[in-house]
Structure 1
Amino acid sequence: MGKRRRRTGVARAAVLGVVLTGSGLLSAPEAFPQSADGTVTVRVVRAVDASGAWTPALEPGLPGVKVTLTGGGRVHVEGTTAADGTVTLAPPPRSREHGGTYRVRVVNPKPGVLFPAFASRQGLAGGPGLLSSNEEFVDLSDGADVSYTTGLWSPGDYCQKNAPVVTACQNTAWQGGGQRTLVSFPYGAHGQAGVDVDVADIATAAQTGTLFGVAWNRTDRRVFSSAAAKRTTAYGPGGPGGIYLTDPAQRRTTLFTTVPDAGGTAHGPGADEAFLAVPGKESLGGLKVTDDGRDLFVVNLNDRRLYRYDATVASAPAPKAVYAVPDPGCPSAGDWRPFGLGLQDGTGYLGGVCSGESTGRAADLRAVVLPFDPATGRFGPAVLDQPLDYPRGSTVGAGPCDGAGWFPWTDTYPVVQNGQACSGFRAQPEPELAEVGFETDGSMLLAFRDRLADRAAGQAAAGGAIGEVLSGGDLNKACPAADGGYVMDTNGGCGLPPRGNRFFDTSRMGFHRNAAYAGMALSKVETTVGISGFDPNSTAFGYGTSFLRRADGGQDPVSGLRLNPPDVPAPFGKGASMGDLEVLCDRAPLQIGNRVWYDPERTGVQRPGQQPVPGATVHLYDGAGTLVGTARTTARGEYYFDDSNVDGGLRPHTEYTIRLDEPSDYAEGGPLHRWVPTRRGVGDDPFIDSDGAAPPGGRYPGRALTTGGPGENDHTLDFGFRRCGCGH
């Protein structure tokens, strides 16, 4: 008896050696029995669609994600994904008492923000091109090396292919209230509007006046748009603070709210000379709806505050909250000009510029992005603070005032540039950071608008000469730096030295550079990003949308949509005739389910080496008890419910019950013959416990649940079965 106890103690010491060796704290003794176990390589990607397949061009690897490997004998190995999203884990040498099966888990770095991506029903058996669940079991015995791909996603990243796009067309006051202000067309539309593609007019100048901001509430499918201060145009019924609400299906527009204290300068007659200094300083800037559809944010350019409104109502008499925007330290308080907004992974971002107006020095121009908490309005330190005095190509292409660079804000019309008198066509771009977006790889997109293009007069009422100012906006990319901030491409970021190089080609017709208006349509399921600008394609002049490749920044040669009718000039010539672009993405779909397994040890906890239950039937019932979905477990015991196998689709925030109640499964020859539900809810780890329990007096296990919000996938709905002691 004493010898047996001593041997047990030696075995335990050996196991402890395995654990310490796997942690790197102890070298394995030479006499330790060596295993022939292989390794597991896990790739964690940021998914953007519901296909269950990995698309490398759209779904980059996620770095810095913890992955664990656990097994019998208290083995626990951890690793962190590299820049490409991969990590390889090698189990420590094992004893003969422990098999070569292990559990591998991806630890979600942002619970409640990121969720498991849609998993393929083939799972691990489908190869590395299909997505497995975040919790997998692998067999590494006999030197087997296993590789697979899994994913996390943000529901806000989801979009359907070729979704509708809405943009704002800007008209002169002379054109009248019947002119269109909001239009919609498919993302992939190209060519000439009205000739190659039908464009839907969904709002008019009489309903909205001049607009810049456009936002989409995917929850109730409504478009918000906001007033813009632009010379020789007209405000709508809400004046400089007007926000409008449009039902694109019904093409019905109403006034949603009037933001207070948005400015008091009225438009004047003719060339509207008194309005020359107003753009960028009065009316409204960026407009965004949170991913959950609950809140609408807008920047008031006049009082330089951030306003928050209830986005679920038909009209809002007052904001829910108003937040002061901190000055990032411009040379003068009057130089700080907040404008643009972005939202990503539950964090808000406000973009603005130090205008250089007080000093007149280009060296004082800066772009700044401040993060904020949408729930509290609390701002954090700047994540981007970059100079804007880098070399920049000519906007006009030739002439004494060709606009080669960014220029400090002024309230006058440019007549001299770099000591030379201006004549004819001219550009003197004054930066406004009007839109902030994020790529799936974490890089930041910055859409700049040219303020001078909004200070210039449009085409004369009698059809005279087109405006002489060329808009000089841009789309820039900023990439993460070692200090945790971002560096713009033009300042040597994103691997693009020397200074002045930029990632995106925003030239049009091979002649004019800086042709963007700051509208940005970023759909993360598309290989391009859309921008508003002039000369949008290679076949026609005018204004419309162009598309740039997200992979390398080049122009997509087959895309580009001209919005002004054939032979009809843009109302502002090559100045700015458009506002923002917004992609009308659907709500993210849902997926629930995961694994059914045999639990002969009766612990109620999934362990490596336990066998899955293949071929079992899993039913899904709605709140009324109606059968709405059926799934069968795979060879790995996995099952999933989503829109593909649920009648009417799997709905968010809805009560369902999952049951394994197919009688034939429990009959002789069935996968659950003489098996009954194991212990339920054991421990505090929902990924490995059993959720099924038979109701009182019932035989079949089930689990009642309420689904989460759109895209909040749940792969922890597992069912374990123990051997039945129920006789023959």
Structure 2
Amino acid sequence: MSTPALTDFRKCIKIITLIIISLFSGETHAQVSKISGMVFQDYNANGIKDGGEPSVSGVTVNVYDATGSVTGTANSAADGSYAITSSFTGPFKVVFSNIPSGFFPGFSGPGNGTSLQFIAGNTGIANLGIYNPQNDYCKSDPDFAVPVYVNGDPLGGGTAGEEPALIYLPYHSGFNPVKTVLARQKEIGVVWGLAFQKESNKLVSAAFVKRHAGLGPLGIDGLYISDYKTQTTGNYFKLSNIDPAISAGTDPHAGLDKDMLVANYDSETYKWIGKTGLGGIDFSEDGSILYVVNVFEKKLYEFPVGIPASVPTKYNRYDIPTPTGADSRPFALKFYKGKIYVGVTCTNESIAPDTTGMKGIVYEMTPQDFGGGNNSFDELGFKKVLEIPFTYKKGESFTGTPFSSHWYPWKSDYFSTPFQNQIGADTVGTRLYPQPWLTDIEFDDHDNMLLGIKDRTADQIGNRNYIPDPIFTSSSLIRTQGVGDLLVAGPCGPDGTYILENNASVCGGPATGGKDNNQGPGGGEFYFQDDMLLHQETSLGGIAVLKGSNEVITNMVDPIYFWTNGVRMYDNTSGQGVGMIEILPSNKTVASFGKSASLGDIELLMQCGNPPIEIGNRIWIDSNNNGFQDPGESGLEGVTLDLYEGNTKVGTTISGIYGQYYFNDSNVPEGLKANTAYQIRITGSQTRLTSYALTKISDNSDILTDNDAVASNGSYIVNLVTGNKGENNHSFDIGFICDLKPAAGARSNAVCLNTSIELTSSGGDKYAWTGPDNFSSFEQNPVINNATNAKSGTYSVTVYALNASGSNLFSNSGFDSSNDDFSSDYTFTGDNNPETDLTVNGKFSIIKLPNNEFVPSGVKDHTTQTSSGYVLLANGATNGNSRVWYKTIPVKPNSRYRFAFSVLNTSISGTPPEIAASVNGQNVIPANNLTTYYQGTWIDFEYIWDSGINTTATFAINDPNGGDAGNDFALDDISIISYDACEKSASVLVNVITVPDGGPDLAVCSPSETAKLPNPTAGQTWNMVLNPSGSNPAITPDGQVSGMNIDGIYRFSLSQDGCTSSDTVQIIRRSAPAFNLAIFQGGCNGGNSLNNATISIVNAGNPADRYDIIEGSVYNGTKDFNTASSVPQDGIILQNITNPIGSVSYTVRIFTQNNCYSDKTITLQHVDCGCNALCLPFNVSKTLTAK
């Protein structure tokens, strides 16, 4: 509970806690790591695997451990997935290879990395999107073009010529699309086949023979070209102009009126439908070759038109197989993955009404190289890959007419055709006679072949128009319900062949909702929602596939309302309709073809072509300076890169959080050009690179991982040449090494007891000190007061480089935005009556200081140091260890994060507050009992966390106290700041010295003039402070004293830098004892020596002195004053000395009480008593001998 305010206020006391640890798994036993992911075709280049984008098998994935060794390998499976387990722990490097020919890495995105990826921990996901830029690239909402048909002569100068003939509109237009006219009827007439050259934004359309509607200015073999950008159309070329021998037949139209509202007979055209003119057309995947089906000749033409498309001068011609002779009618065409697919209808026209063997056939062919001129090839190069038996029961063209649920042989004579006739409410007769016509081929995202089937009758009969009366007398108006079908075949046959759908299933897969509906091959239909009230079939034979959408779009009647024309989209997995667009509104007049196929083929436009280019990859910190990327090496965020073409800057970008960077359409306004030289430049002087230098060029041959930059004139440069359009290149990596130059020092490396240790550092953005006696600090130049001996030792500083921004990752640091941007286990009081609500335990408020109920007056906000700032004020919970404040953020692996906050103790009695901190649930700042800090004192906490393998982190400030009374506190200035993985360390040795020790006092005895004092330690100096008058002593830095030539006291002081005290050493030169020696050489008695020589000390200076005497001329005795003998009063120290034969020397040493001494030597000579040899003493003995 809260306590009364305390009026005392103290300055902020700062507590620093430094703990640098990595939060890895606490397990120590063997672990199993798992890396998994998906390889897929990224058709729309958005970096995400959308529902319709297929998987890719056979791509090799290698995982490298931290040592650079391959720790696991896998190939992507049929569903694109892979999984690799390893007994090693992360971090890992993942490299994708064996990418299919013609494919390139897709564009970077949230679900797609590049061919080189990194996993920080023991588990992770690495996906790769790839695509074929020549075939796959398609944005998610392209425009599509479709021909529109109008009754009459487009070249007659009337209303028929002014109507749209070719339009385009957005793929996702909705019910009321905005349509743009590319060409009018007078410009191109009737066309069906469309081919879009994505590289030049040009759309080619081909003449098509349809009864009641005339051809354009180039006639029956004409091709037209439209500019998608400028919405203009012109003549392209006639096949017969390339070679007069080429013929698409003769224009059969006659009697067409220039007024679209005037009915006509156009009788001759009836029999030529599907037999003359041009069929399907398509471009090669690279856009340089145009393929055209000549329906009349039953041949495929291959024209090298180049980019942009120009009029060709040569061709290759292929004979299309005619398995049923004259009844074989080619039309459909598709270029797909380097091969040509041609659709042929076996019409059974010559054996009608027999339907036996009536079918569609798809042939596959590999184009030949061009020679010097025109080349012709027979049908031997074609391989049959699919048969479509047109004997299956389909849906009824018009509900309630079982006759129309079957296909029938082609008929070219109106009057002998067994129509099912109906008369409508407006007395116009409806003629039903479904004739199968394979008019379009496409492939979906899973390589399934999609087939557009057209009802030929729809092009033989108009809407409210005349019958083909050869004598032009009938006034009967007729129409038809000319609808076809949409089929699918799967690539599951032997030897690369396809198998047609069977009872709504493809290749034995799951059946769609059309199973057993009796409207398709095998008793069901895959695309089962191609109906509309009165029609069980609605398709018009034109289809297109938007790559990556998992959809097919087909033209149809009644997409929304009766008598309209438009398109419908179907899901390629479920077979369900997923969208529809009305293109032509309801129109029952003769001008419109109504349900007699008012629309032609469908072609997707620009966004499905001309793919952009993306280059780049990663800037990284090369921790081991080996020139290539290893697992665990961190990316470098916030580096500015410029892209130059020659000397012109064409783009700029900044590296992202993981060091990734890319140049593409988003930052290169004109887009990257194909096959063009560029230069990536990084200005070396930019602030972001202050702490970095370029790494070396690696001798590693792996272009995906090496450093590609070189230093030049203050910049770091990557030279490159782009590939073809859409060929992304993610191999341009740039490595930097941490180039911090840390320095650690101290104002003095030796300091005296109870003084201050002043540390210094430089060379970074942030500093973290550790040292003896559990010292830690985040200050750059910390000061340690009252140094003790325990503070002696090595102090180390770690220098860090801040990240790109250095900004706080918690936006509400000072709580100016109330309780935004964080979470709490406590309950927020709200902004109303916070003082009253805050009396309940476990609540917090955002409030200004001071607050007399909880906070002493005079206490200031920590942020502003005023009374107007906000803080988080908490009444501690009683459950213990609650998170008062926490925030979860994404973090970059192998990086540092500084977590700092300030706490105010507001408890005056009861249980004191305690504060701790954690990251990801692990305590990083242990519980601090705030009892010792006065109420009203702000206390600062700080901590540096190593993210290790983590990609997210929850930073929390905890209240471990569970007490009831008291336990009140405030928080302010919470910050989380990211550092780079760039750090270096330096250290300095500091000794704390109690008092300088010069050693004991010394004494020397004259005549000595020298002495040796102890060698000083670092920072210590000897100085002379006293000497006897007349003397001239000196002392060297190592304590060698000389020049003490006068007896007396000499004093020397040993001082320590920074110390106020010193140690004085005294050297006393004392006088040596003075004395003389006397010798009595001994006497004679007669001729004999008395052996009574003596040695005496005379004239001794001090009776207390003592002596020692030895035989010899140099004193080598071992006595000192304590063991020496006192001088006798008579001075005789040696007597009754035997007269030596020769001379004998004696040395006497006199000791003073302080062990000064003097030595004197005296010689005892032989005394000659005047006796010769005969006078020498002798004895006489007598020997008795017995006899």
**Given the two structures, how large is their TM-score scaled by the length of structure 2?**
0.51
Change beyond 3 A, Cα 1:68–1:277: farther
Q: Report the CA distance between 1:561 and its aligned residue.
A: 0.6
- Check if 1:304 corresponds to 2:306: no
1:691 aligned to which of 708, 730, 746? 708
2:96 corresponds, among 93, 106, 118, to: 106
Q: Which residue of 1 aligns with 2:105?
A: 116
- What is the 5 A alignment of 1:54-93? 54-55=49-50, 57-71=51-65, 72=67, 74-75=69-70, 77-91=72-86, 93=87
- Other-structure match for 2:497: 485
| Structure 2 CA distance for aligned equivalents of residues 198 and 647 of structure 1 | 28
Using the TM superposition, give the Cα deviation of residue 109 of structure 1 relative to its aligned residue in structure 2, in angstroms.
Answer: 3.6
Structure 1 residue 138 corresponds to structure 2 residue 159: no
Query: What is the CA–CA distance in structure 2 between the aligned matches of 1:209 and 1:428, rounded to whole Å?
Result: 26
Contact preservation (8 Å) 1:506, 1:516: no
| Number of matched pairs | 660
Residue 702 in 1 paired to residue 721 in 2?
Answer: no
Q: For residues 342-368 of structure 1, what are the alpha-carbon distances to aligned partners after superposition, in whole Å with 9 as ceiling and x for unaligned?
A: 233444433333333455443413333
Give yes or no for the alignment of 1:571 onto 2:573. Answer: no
Please state whether the residue corresponding to 1:206 is helix, strand or coil: helix
Given candidates 655, 660, 664, the residue that maps to 1:633 is 655
* CA gap 1:236/1:667 in 2 versus in 1, 3 angstroms: closer
CA contact 1:214–1:223 (8 Å) conserved in 2 = yes
| Secondary structure in 2 matching 1:50 | coil
Alignment of 1:328-367 (within 5 A): 330=323, 332-360=324-352, 361-367=354-360
Among 566, 579, 583, the alignment partner of 1:544 is 566
Once the two structures are overlaid, the 10-residue window that deviates more, 368-377 or 243-252, is 368-377
- Which residue is equivalent to 2:249? 263
**Amino acid paired to 1:473:** G
Quote the offset at 1:447 in angstroms. 1.3
> C-alpha separation between the residues in 2 aligned to 1:413 and 1:106?
63
Q: Alpha carbons of 1:340 and 1:359: their partners in 2 closer, same or farther (altered >3 Å)?
A: same
Q: State the 1:654 CA deviation.
A: 3.3
Conserved? CA contact 2:527–2:576, under 8 Å: yes
- Going by fraction, where is strand more abundant, 1 or 2? 2
Shift of 1:152: 0.9
Following superposition, the deviation at residue 705 of structure 1 comes to 1.9
Letter in 2 for 1:213: G
Distance 1:490 1:422, change over 3 A: farther
What corresponds to 1:219 in structure 2?
199
* Aligned: 1:189 with 2:173: yes
8 A contact 1:214–1:226 mirrored in 2: yes
Q: Using structure 1 for the length normalisation, give the TM-score.
A: 0.81
> 1:687 and 1:397, CA in 2 relative to 1: closer, same or farther beyond 3 A?
same
Match of 1:25 in 2: none
Match among 27, 32, 35 for residue 40 of structure 1: 35
Is residue 678 of structure 1 aligned with residue 710 of structure 2? no
Aligned ranges 1:167-206 → 2 under 5 Å: 167-173=146-152, 176-191=160-175, 196-206=176-186
Which residue of structure 2 aligns with residue 19 of structure 1? Answer: none
Are the aligned partners of 1:394 and 1:513 in contact in 2 as well (CA < 8 Å)?
Answer: yes
Q: How far off is 1:590 after superposition?
A: 2.2
Offset at 1:503? 2.0
CA 1:323 to 1:366, structure 2 compared with 1: closer, same or farther past 3 Å? same
Structure 2 distance, partners of 1:665, 1:373, is 58
Distance 2:730 2:190 in 1: 47
- Tell whether the 8 Å contact from 2:117 to 2:126 is kept in structure 1 after alignment: no
Tell me whether 255-264 or 68-77 shows the greater mean CA deviation.
68-77
How far off is 1:278 after superposition?
1.4
2:364 matches 1:371? yes
Unaligned runs of at least 5 residues, structure 2? 1-27, 154-158, 241-246, 256-263, 371-376, 424-428, 468-473, 517-521, 744-1187
Matched, 1:164 2:143: yes
Contact in 1 for aligned 2:487/2:501 (Cα 8 Å): yes
- 2:439 counterpart residue number: 434
How far apart, in 1, do the equivalents of 2:311 and 2:81 lie? 51
| 1:464 Cα deviation after fit | 7.5
- 2:538 maps to amino acid: A
Classify the secondary structure of the residue corresponding to 1:453: helix
Tell me if the contact between 2:327 and 2:348 (Cα under 8 Å) persists in the aligned partners: yes
Structure 1 residues 316 and 593: CA distance shift in structure 2, 3 A: closer
Deviation at 1:476, TM superposition (A): 1.6
Shift of 1:604: 4.1
Counterpart AA for 1:691: D
Give the C-alpha shift of residue 256 in structure 1.
Answer: 0.3
Which letter does structure 2 place at the counterpart of 1:517? L
**How far has the Cα of 1:316 moved from its partner?**
5.0
Deviation string 1:174-196 (CA, Å, 9 cap, x unpaired) is 563233211222223344xxxx4
The 1:708–1:157 alpha-carbon spacing in structure 2 relative to 1, beyond 3 Å, is same
Give the structure 2 partner of residue 9 of structure 1.
none
Shift of 1:600: 5.7
The answer to whether the 8 A contact 1:226-1:241 is kept is: yes
Q: Deviations over 1:29-84 (max 9, x none)?
A: xxxx99423111111121122332333x2323323433333444753643232333
Alpha-carbon spacing, 1:511–1:45, altered in 2? closer, same or farther (3 Å): same
**Aligned CA distance change for structure 1 residues 426 and 348 (closer, same or farther; 3 Å):** same
Gaps (5+ residues) in structure 1? 1-32, 121-128
Considering Cα pairs closer than 8 Å and 6+ residues apart, tell me whether 1 or 2 has the greater RCO.
1
Report SS of the residue matched to 1:51.
coil
Q: Pick closer, same or farther for the CA change 1:273–1:718 going to 2, 3 Å.
A: same
CA 1:628–1:595: 2 relative to 1, 3 Å: same
Q: Which residue of 1 aligns with 2:461?
A: 456
**SS state of the match for residue 383, structure 2?**
coil
The CA distance in 2 between the partners of 1:362 and 1:34, in whole Å, is 74
Counterparts of 2:103 and 2:568 in 1: how far apart (Å)? 31
Residues 601-640 of structure 1: per-residue CA shift (max 9 Å, x gap): 6654444x35134126252323232333333334433221
Counterparts in 2 of 1:441 and 1:114: CA distance versus 1, 3 Å = same
Return the alpha-carbon distance in structure 1 between the equivalents of residues 475 and 94 of structure 2. Answer: 71
Q: CA deviation at 1:258?
A: 0.7
Deviations, residues 302-345 of structure 1 (Å, cap 9, x unaligned): 12222233445788554542231452x72x23343322222334
The structure with the larger Rg is 2
**Per-residue deviation, 1:167:** 1.1
Letter in 1 for 2:542: G
Q: Which stretch shows the higher mean deviation, 625-634 or 226-235? A: 625-634
Cα distance in 1 for partners of 2:666, 2:626 equals 34
SS at match of 1:349: strand
The yes-or-no answer on 1:505 pairing with 2:512 is: no
Residues 372 and 595 (structure 1), Cα distance of their counterparts in 2 relative to 1, 3 Å cut: farther
Q: Percent identity?
A: 26
Alpha-carbon distance change, 343 to 135 in structure 1, aligned in 2, over 3 angstroms: farther
Q: Are the counterparts in 1 of residues 265 and 466 from structure 2 also a CA contact under 8 Å? A: no
Q: Distance in 2 between matches of 1:632 and 1:334?
A: 66
> Matches of 1:103 and 1:314 in 2, distance apart?
43
What is the letter of the counterpart of residue 400 of structure 2? A
Secondary structure, counterpart of 2:602 in structure 1: strand
Which residue number in structure 2 is paired with residue 147 of structure 1? Answer: 125
The residue identity in structure 2 corresponding to 1:277 is K
